[in-house]
Amino acid sequence: MAPMMEITFLGTASANPTPKKAASSIVLRYENDLWMFDCGEGTQIQLMKSSLKAGKVNRIFITHLHGDHLYGISGLMCTIGQTNQRDAPILIYGPLGLAKYLRVTLGLSRANLAYRFKVIELVPTVDMRGEEDDMCNFEEDDHLKLHPCEDDMCNFEEDDHLKLHPCEDEGERIEAKMVNGVPRWPIFEGPLTVTAGKLEHRIASFAFIIQEQTIPGNLNVYKLRSFGIEPGPVCKLLRNGNTVSSPSGQQITLKDVLGDDQPGRKVVICGDSMNSSHISYLAQNADVYIHEATLENELKDQAIERGHSTPEMAAEFALQANAKLLYLTHFSQRYTESRSQQEKTIYSLLEQAKLTFGPNCAVAEDLQTYSVKQQSSRTVLS
């Protein structure tokens, strides 16, 4: 039986939260693991509203360093420290500069966490840097420069952001590797393998591709009977690695009576993007492809100018990846959750996506959970 895999959308708003939509955050639950993807302002409030527990979060992935995907992480880390004693550190992944952000925010607020954490930074390729990155080049004295809107209020030591937080383990940096001419960032392997891919936005932005290992087939009683053996205690013997004899004297092992292997599930979670074609190869045959649709098709030029996508664009990127299900998220505040035909709603965005992708589309709503099934039990959404 396949392990449980669920996706919970904690926040689906772009730019800033509203009374009905929280800032961006998604949680992937796989057995007992909770992995968070982006952590916008108010994410820990959304966790409290859900059935998920903040103290169970053991990995956090940040797609890019815009505030609506990031401003909730420091507060969440403090809350986790109050709710759970853990032996293993929390692992945090994101673009270059994330470690500095955490050191400054946690350091200035004197946050003393009750656990260790480690930051693994993804080094963007040169062509991923946008105009906004010019404000923050991560040089050693970068924190001494004033923000364009900042008064000279802070008096850091020159090397302050280079020091580890007292609860921080030495981090890592991952450089891109080229595969079929496309950059990829191999993050880790295991029952779930995670790889990051390149998106185009106003600053460096990443997609995370989560691939489950192939799941071995179950013992097939019809194959067992084809050897003249009836199911029963013999099944336990086979599962324990024993060899059994058929009535004809043939030696049978578990491998002989297993059903077909099940391909592992694949989930793709994209950060903000106006061009996700670079991940098409990595995202091929995704079971779930989660992509932003900030503005309606009629505002495509405005969306691209701001580094975002429309429903039609998201659908085209999902088609390039041969995705089975497209989930739209990251909606402008102008779109409501109403079913009214007179208002601009997230459901009108859904209909625009369906015109390109087909019926297997959905719009994410705050606190909604989707269970990722095996291919054999997948159904078309209505």
Q: Report, in this order, helix, strand and coil percent for the chain, each rounded to 5.
A: 25, 25, 45
The rounded distance, in Å, linking the Cα atoms of 370 and 65 is 26
CA–CA gap between residue 258 and residue 156 (Å, rounded)? 63
Distances (CA, A) of 47 to 138, 294, 369, 375: 32, 23, 12, 29
Structure tokens at 146: 């004033």
Angle at the Cα of 182 from the Cα atoms of 179 and 183, rounded to 5 degrees? 85
Pairing of strands 90-95, 57-61: parallel
Nearest CA to 353 out of 269, 287, 295 is that of 295
Active site residues: 68
Strand pairing of 266-270 and 205-212?
A: antiparallel
Q: What are the residues whose beta carbons fall under 8 Å from the beta carbon of 13, sequence distance 6 or more?
A: 21, 22, 23, 24, 40, 68, 330, 331, 333
Structure tokens at 152: 């000279």
Cα–Cα distance measured from residue 219 to residue 254, given in angstroms and rounded to the nearest whole number: 7
Neighbours of 222 (CB within 10 A): 9
